[in-house]
Amino acid sequence: MNEIYLDHAATTPMDVEVINTVNKYMEDYYGNPSSIYKTGQIANNKLNEARKTIAELINANDFREIIFTSGGTESDNLAIKGAALALKDQGNHIITTKIEHHAVLHTCEYLEKHHDYEVTYLDVDEKGFVKIADIKEALREDTVLVSIITANNEIGTIQPIKEIGTFLKNKDVYFHTDAVQAIGQIKLNVQEINIDLLSASAHKIHGPKGVGMLYIKKGTKLVPQLNGGAQERNRRAGTENLPGIMGFKKAVELVMENRQKYVEKNSYLRDKLINGIEKSIDDAVLNGPRGSKRLSNNVNFCFKYIEGESILLNLDMLGIAASSGSACTSGSLDPSHVLLAIGHSKGTAHGSLRLSLGKDNTEQEIDFVLEKLPGIIQRIRDMSPLYIKEKERS
Amino acid sequence: MNEIYLDHAATTPMDVEVINTVNKYMEDYYGNPSSIYKTGQIANNKLNEARKTIAELINANDFREIIFTSGGTESDNLAIKGAALALKDQGNHIITTKIEHHAVLHTCEYLEKHHDYEVTYLDVDEKGFVKIADIKEALREDTVLVSIITANNEIGTIQPIKEIGTFLKNKDVYFHTDAVQAIGQIKLNVQEINIDLLSASAHKIHGPKGVGMLYIKKGTKLVPQLNGGAQERNRRAGTENLPGIMGFKKAVELVMENRQKYVEKNSYLRDKLINGIEKSIDDAVLNGPRGSKRLSNNVNFCFKYIEGESILLNLDMLGIAASSGSACTSGSLDPSHVLLAIGHSKGTAHGSLRLSLGKDNTEQEIDFVLEKLPGIIQRIRDMSPLYIKEKERS
Amino acid sequence: MYSEKVMDHFQNPRNVGDLENPDTVGEVGNPSCGDIIQLFLKIDDEVITDIKFKTFGCGAAVATSSLTTELVKGKTIEEALRISKKDIAEKLGGLPPNKMHCSNLATDALKDAIDNYRGEDE
Amino acid sequence: MYSEKVMDHFQNPRNVGDLENPDTVGEVGNPSCGDIIQLFLKIDDEVITDIKFKTFGCGAAVATSSLTTELVKGKTIEEALRISKKDIAEKLGGLPPNKMHCSNLATDALKDAIDNYRGEDE
Ligand SMILES: Cc1ncc(COP(=O)(O)O)c(C=O)c1O
Ligand SMILES: Cc1ncc(COP(=O)(O)O)c(C=O)c1O
């Protein structure tokens, strides 16, 4: 049975060119980039080449504005804790949204708990959009940082990041965006958008796991969070993972080369999935917006009366890998904070299914999912006490 | 020109078996270990296999006591910040030594600066040993953590870690040790030694860069430092780097298989280097102890009247890769804190050279170094105003 | 994650559905928690002669419901009440640590049904 | 890290050593900082006719010493004093950012030597 992998928002298979790159660097470039002998200096030059490629991806002004981390989570932690602590004397208020990734939310909670910061978690509308007016209202004298996700990992909502950046321009706050889900699909221009800090992760774009980056606009103050050696210009200690970083570089090159093509292909498959599900399954609620303000690879539905994990298990039996915002997949009791933030009841939020596309998904795979999903949903609903109740009601 | 790599304490070339392992997992195991579908569950099982191997290496009681990080630096940061913050209500005093790696020292400084902790930095003797009596004296009611490096990365001193652990038993403090340099060479038994937290890094034992681990004895409280997803049982967020972790596992297997053989070989080469240098070069001071209390792969000398970077550049011209505790190699003004701690003047400390052996170094390589080094030292001394002055004096 | 036995019960749940005129019904959970289990029982002279379930919930919730119905069918009420959540988890070849709470639900629902039957609905 | 020109001067330093009866000597730095530069000059009618250096220090310190001696030999004192650290760094094809302070040392030592020569040892 061939796997139909539809969980690219969680992680992506590595591109074969990326694997080959990592391989080459594992074999031939073991030098420590901080050393002055040749193998070290060569490694250091390679590191800087990788910075240049990534700077190009987001149109950073200078390759030295890119530092490498162990992934999106670390980048978010460094950006938020690092910037907040650096501006401690200026204030202790942070603005973010209710639909951030846990890497942002739990980092904010850490600052609340361990450093007495106050955090405003902005509401979003029923499609997941943040309103500029809400940011405006939340801004205070002592606000030091605004952190807003570029595109949501669960429901695919792409925020009006440029408007937000423009609004924040000349305000005395740092603007951070978690672009982990966005960089593979959206052309971002940090200078134009006026971003101070931007997080990304390699394994979401067919790169290696355990590698991320943080864009730090020149002049942005940051208290390092991994303390130790002088690597990354004293902003992130630890021996640099050159093979992984070069794999990230290669993955970014492939994004720049193929982005448009994949976005077009995936948008088509995405809409086919959305339309097909809406046509064949009752009481299926699309989460997030439609069209160009939705990530080209994201499909997310709540199927009423049922619970998400059962859907996943049934799909898995057919070789379809997907994910859910159901609490039961995470071991907690609360379902996805994102689905609650867009207005779902907990009961409905438990029944969510996310299908996230990648570059290699085919139309046949989508057709197969569309063929099987209605039966699965019906089978689970037939078992559900809620489904009956609803039907009796009507 | 073939490189003679003698900087294994900085980083090691990956073993070909490790490369093959990483490769295999890059190609075939892309599943997200937190997911419930098969590829995810398989990845999760593999993660746990890796934990088991590493638990075996250090004789941990349970594989769930091992969590993965991005390297030694992160492990040190997590252990120290995490434990200190978890015990905040119990006290805010930490004991460590003056010869820790920067990953420990700068982390302690972070806690001093951002969380009002008090840190006692213990002196060491002229060979780099910590005295139990000093720990005893430093211990206070409000001490929550003692962090002492197992074996020093610069001068190779192996601490009496078992005595320290025994002394700390039943004291109400956590005991952390940075075993980054040690695990490849010394058989450690965390249960016997009574260790609560132990840091290690894969790339120091011919494993991949960007992967580390922290042993967290069952019941040890820890405030997570990378906040986000629920990975690593809520102790370290971020998508797990399975290929890297499996490479770490393989490297650990190779350590268990070959440790004794390499330690014997390297001890022999180490002593040949030490004796040869002492015989052929005047005013060369060995840093650190001799014999079994010294890491089998570590050679470190101060050559008086000269500065370390010049030595490295001259060695590099001959294809010999080495390192120095000279400030000029790090861009700061102060030379190695370790060399100062064992009693050297700044001037002498600037003239240090570390040669650190690895499994593939040969006796011919060592002979070549011994043949070339005296000429290099003499050439630099002939340029040095200090050398003349000393000679005039005598 | 799940044992083969859990997956077997999840894929082929025994006794799904409801009974036309049950002698008693038990229900625990609510949609916000993500789990609801309903049990429908026929009881004849203290013996559970038939039982069906409906479940809204995860794989563990479905499997524990299914196994519970299988175990208690034909047993007396007393015997049925002696089945513990631990028995259920063990008979399923274990449950993941974070799913242990699900294994309570089916036995709780059974207790609820029997309480209702005996009129002890406190 | 270092440019080819720096490495050339480091490998083949010009004018290393000292002079038997120098007309003046300049020295800056100290061992704790990791850099000392000594310059020995012969001066004839305001012209630097010979110059030698001794350096304790890193690659940049040696190379800047070497280049400085090369540049000033044959020049008048006035001309020599006009050579800035920036000139030195540029002529060496640049220095790494964290080594910029080393490029001060040689010009400072030259200034010290000339100050000493003129008796302006403040
Ligand atoms: C939006 C977003 N931010 C952050 C992360 C964390 O990235 P990583 O798992 O690479 O640490 C993810 C992915 O899990 C994500 O989707
Ligand atoms: C003793 C010691 N601790 C910590 C580290 C940091 O490890 P890493 O570079 O893997 O973060 C090193 C190596 O640099 C080390 O030698």
Contact A135, A122 (CB under 8 A): yes
**D73: phi then psi, degrees, rounded to nearest 5:** -60, 125
Distance A212 CA to ligand 1 centre (A): 9
Joined together, the tokens standing for residue B185 give 């060479």
Residues A154 and A218 in one domain: yes
Residues A307 and A204 in one domain: no
In single-letter form, the type of residue at position B133 comes to: A
* Chain D contacts in chain B segment 293-322 (CB below 8 A): 305-307, 309-310, 313, 317
Q: Is the pLDDT of residue C122 over 60?
A: no
User: How many beta-carbon contacts under 8 Å exist across B and D?
Assistant: 71
**Every domain of chain D and the residues it spans:** 4-121
Which DSSP helix (H) or strand (E) runs through B302? strand B298-303
**Model pLDDT, residue B331:** 62
Q: Is the pLDDT of residue D100 over 90?
A: no
Contact B339, B126 (CB under 8 A): no
CATH class entry, domain C4-121:
alpha beta
Residues A180 and A247 in one domain: yes
**What pLDDT band is residue C120 in, cutting at 50, 70 and 90?**
low
Residue owning the nearest CA to atom 4 of ligand 1: A72
pLDDT in tens, D42-81: 999 999 999 999 999 999 999 999 999 999 999 999 999 9
Contacts of B393 (CB under 8 A, 6+ apart): none
3-class DSSP string for chain A: CCCEECECCCCCCCCHHHHHHHHHHHHHCCCCCCCCCHHHHHHHHHHHHHHHHHHHHHCCCCHHHEEEECCHHHHHHHHHHHHHHHCCCCCCEEEEECCCCHHHHHHHHHHHHHHCCEEEEECCCCCCCCCHHHHHHHCCCCEEEEECCCECCCCCEECCHHHHHHHHCCCCCEEEEECCCCCCCCCCCHHHHCCCEEEEEHHHHCCCCCCEEEEECCCCCCCCCCCCCCHHHHCCCCCCCHHHHHHHHHHHHHHHHHHHHHHHHHHHHHHHHHHHHHHHCCCEEECCCCHHHECCCEEEEEECCCCHHHHHHHHHHCCEECECCCHHHCCCCCCCHHHHHCCCCHHHHCCEEEEECCCCCCHHHHHHHHHHHHHHHHHHHHHCHHHHHHHHHC
Give the number of the ligand closest to the Cα of residue B209. 2
Residue owning the nearest CA to atom 8 of ligand 1: A72
pTM: 0.96
Joined together, the tokens standing for residue C29 give 């959970």
Residues B309 and B245 in one domain: no
Q: What is the ipTM of this complex?
A: 0.94
Is the CB of D1 inside 8 Å of chain A's CB atoms?
yes
**Model pLDDT, residue B394:** 59
Pocket test for ligand 2, best of B11, B69, B70, B73 (most atoms within 8 A of CB): B73
**Model pLDDT, residue D121:** 45
Query: Among residues B10, B86, B226, B328, which one is catalytic?
Result: B328
Contacts of B142 (CB under 8 A, 6+ apart): B90, B91, B92, B93
The least confident of A167-171, A268-272, B323-327, C70-74 is B323-327
Residue C25 CA to residue C113 CA, distance in Å, equals: 5
Residues B272 and B228 in one domain: no
The least confident of A345-359, B71-85, D89-103 is D89-103
Residues B335 and B242 in one domain: no
Domain that holds residue A100: 16-254
Of the candidates D15, D83, D68, D80, the residue with the CA atom closest to the CA atom of residue D43? D80
Residues B231 and B366 in one domain: no
**Model pLDDT, residue D96:** 87
**Model pLDDT, residue B154:** 97
Joined together, the tokens standing for residue B164 give 């320290």
CA dihedral B52, B58, B59, B60 (to 10 degrees): -70
Average pLDDT across chain B, whole number: 95
Compare CB distances from B114 to A11, A85, A315 and report the shortest one's residue: A85
Contact B310, B375 (CB under 8 A): no
Q: Is the pLDDT of residue C34 over 90?
A: no
> Is residue A302 flagged as an active site residue?
no
Residue A126 CA to residue A99 CA, distance in Å, equals: 11
Q: By percentage, how much of chain B surpasses pLDDT 90?
A: 94
Residue where a domain terminates, one of A254, A288, A307? A254
Joined together, the tokens standing for residue B198 give 């132990």
Residues B272 and B243 in one domain: no
Residues A340 and A305 in one domain: yes
Residue where a domain terminates, one of A209, A231, A254? A254
Contacts of B109 (CB under 8 A, 6+ apart): A227, B119
**Model pLDDT, residue C121:** 45
Enter the DSSP assignment of B209.
T
**Model pLDDT, residue A161:** 97
Helix C59-72, helix A308-317: angle, nearest 10: 90
Neighbours of chain D (3+ CB pairs under 8 A): A, B
Which DSSP helix (H) or strand (E) runs through D56? strand D47-56
Ligand 2: list residues with CB < 6 Å: A 228, 238-239; B 71-73, 76, 101, 103, 149, 153, 178, 180-181, 201, 203, 212
Residues B244 and B282 in one domain: no
Residue D55 CA to residue D36 CA, distance in Å, equals: 6
Pocket test for ligand 1, best of A154, A180, A295 (most atoms within 8 A of CB): A180
pLDDT in tens, B333-392: 789 999 999 999 999 999 999 999 999 999 999 999 999 999 999 999 999 999 976 666
**A271: phi then psi, degrees, rounded to nearest 5:** -70, -35
Q: Note the residue count of chain B.
A: 394
Q: Is the pLDDT of residue D5 over 60?
A: yes
DSSP B319-360: TEE-B---GGGTTSSS--HHHHHTT--HHHHTTEEEEE--TT
**Model pLDDT, residue B1:** 61
DSSP 3-state assignment of B175? strand
**What pLDDT band is residue B330 in, cutting at 50, 70 and 90?**
low
Distance A101 CA to ligand 1 centre (A): 7
Query: Among residues D77, D102, D106, D113, which one is catalytic?
Result: D102
D24-30 β-sheet, strand order: D24-30, D35-44, D47-56
D18–B333 CB contact, under 8 Å: no
Of the candidates A226, B105, A25, the residue with the CA atom closest to the CA atom of residue A33? A25
Is the CB of C1 inside 8 Å of chain B's CB atoms?
yes
Contact A232, A94 (CB under 8 A): no
Chains A and C touch (3+ CB pairs under 8 A): yes
What value does the mean pLDDT take over residues B34-52?
94
Residue C22 CA to residue A91 CA, distance in Å, equals: 64
pLDDT in tens, A153-175: 999 999 999 999 999 999 999 99
**Model pLDDT, residue A288:** 98
Contact B37, A7 (CB under 8 A): yes
Average pLDDT across chain C, whole number: 92
pLDDT in tens, A310-331: 999 999 999 999 999 876 666 6
The least confident of A225-229, B33-37, B221-225 is B33-37
**Model pLDDT, residue D122:** 45
Given its phi and psi angles, is residue A110 left (phi above 0), alpha (psi -120 to 50 degrees) or beta?
Answer: alpha
Of the candidates B214, B205, B202, B323, the residue with the CA atom closest to the CA atom of residue A244? B202
Neighbours of chain A (3+ CB pairs under 8 A): B, C, D
CATH code at position A206:
3.40.640.10
Tokens 């609803």, residue?
A390
**Model pLDDT, residue A394:** 59
- What sign does the CA torsion over D1, D5, D9, D15 have? negative
Surface-to-core class of residue A189, CB atoms within 10 Å of its CB (0-12 exposed, 13-18 middle, 19+ buried): middle
Residue owning the nearest CA to atom 7 of ligand 2: B72
Residues B264 and B244 in one domain: no
Q: How many domains does chain B have?
A: 2
Residues B108 and B235 in one domain: yes
Residue where a domain terminates, one of A236, A254, A272? A254
Q: What is the pLDDT along chain A (394 residues), one digit of tens a residue?
A: 689 999 999 999 999 999 999 999 999 999 999 898 999 999 999 999 999 999 999 999 999 999 999 999 999 999 999 999 999 999 999 999 999 999 999 999 999 999 999 999 999 999 999 999 999 999 999 999 999 999 999 999 999 999 999 999 999 999 999 999 999 999 999 999 999 999 999 999 999 999 999 999 999 999 999 999 989 999 999 999 999 999 999 999 999 999 999 999 999 999 999 999 999 999 999 999 999 999 999 999 999 999 999 999 999 999 999 999 876 666 667 899 999 999 999 999 999 999 999 999 999 999 999 999 999 999 999 999 999 766 666 5
